[in-house]
Structure 1
Amino acid sequence: MEPRPAGARSEHLFRDARRVIPGGVNSPVRAFGAVGGTPRFMARGEGAFLEDVDGVRYLDYVQSWGALLFGHARREIVAAAVEAAGRGTSFGAPTENEVRLAEEIVLDVPGVDMVRLVSSGTEAA
């Protein structure tokens, strides 16, 4: 079975992206180099599904490499994120929420007595 070719908007965005992003994507995994073709540019996700800029719907087996355990745009998660962002997004100082999260992790993970919450570095420039 031949894969469906990328739609016109994905093709156009990929051309634009190659002018300003090395390889046209921000991750070598997204480049389709090993399989050929044009990456599909996504417009939205809901639950276990994605829709690309050309209106094609996909079952998302990747789920952002495991980060989306509850799927895309789950209402209660979006509402909690909006509510939290309304209080401020980054302070560069300790917060009560990080203490409470660390307490939950220590309580729920056997053998873990302390945690440090840090970024992974994958988002570094």
Structure 2
Amino acid sequence: MQRTNSDTLHQEALHHLVGGVNSPVRAFKSVHGNPIYFEKASGAIVTDVDGNELVDFVQSWGPLVHGHSHPKIIEMVYQKMQNGTSFGAPHTGEIELAKRVKQRFSYMDKVRFVSSGTEAVMSAVRLARGYTGRDLLIKFEGCYHGHVDSLMVSSGSGLATFGIASSPGIPK
């Protein structure tokens, strides 16, 4: 597989971004490689800057279950953006989406929307600690649970990294 353009972009990124990426999981360090830079995607197919077409099994680490560039989603997002792109305040769309989620998952009493998987995990940890009154929790060793210090211990591929802290600042 040709990777010349991705490798060149990564070398440039190392001069401008910490570690050359905006999330350690994207660095490919645990598999001794450089990240692949993507240019476009449609459905389950992503195309990198070298023209390689790949099946996207990652799907943005979970939240992209609908695939890439679905025309109806693009149209709806475009329509909504005409009214503003980010308010940093409550919006009527939050209420409507919460109602729809609760209709589909009837066991849910309430919903909390967050901006990332890390925030979702942090909220779940806080909720569990508040509910149980305990400080300690159990997590899966060798798995990534978000970019928060207390959960980065023994994260990543246990086979590739032996489950050790991957950078200074992460508790052992």
TM-score range, shorter chain: 0.7 to 0.9
Task: State the Cα RMSD in Å.
Answer: 1.8
Shift of 1:92: 3.1
Q: 1:51 aligns with which of 32, 47, 54?
A: 47
1:1-125 equivalence runs, <5 A: 4=1, 7-120=3-116, 121=119
Q: Distance in 2 between matches of 1:17 and 1:42?
A: 14
Q: TM-score, normalised by structure 2?
A: 0.63
| Aligned-pair CA distance for 1:117 | 2.6
CA-CA distance at 1:14 after TM superposition = 0.6
Instruction: Tell me the SS of whatever aligns to 2:29.
Output: coil
Summarize deviations over 1:37-90 as a string: whole Å, max 9, x none.
221110011100100011111111111111111111011101111111111112
Relative contact order (alpha carbons < 8 A, sep ≥ 6): 1 or 2 greater?
A: 1
State the shift of 1:29 in Å. Answer: 1.3
Q: 2-side partners of 1:94 and 1:27: how far apart?
A: 28
What amino acid is the match of 2:35?
P
Query: What whole-Å deviation, never above 9, does each CA across 1:2-22 have from its counterpart, x for those lacking one?
Result: xx3x52211110110011112
User: Percent of aligned pairs with the same residue?
Assistant: 40
Q: AA paired with 2:70?
A: R
Of 20-29 and 41-50, more deviation after overlay is shown by: 20-29
Aligned length: 119
What is the distance in 2 between the residues matched to 1:54 and 1:112? 45
Unaligned runs of 5+ in 1: none
5+ residue gaps in structure 2?
Answer: 120-145, 148-172
What CA distance in whole angstroms lies between the structure 1 residues aligned with 2:111 and 2:33? 43
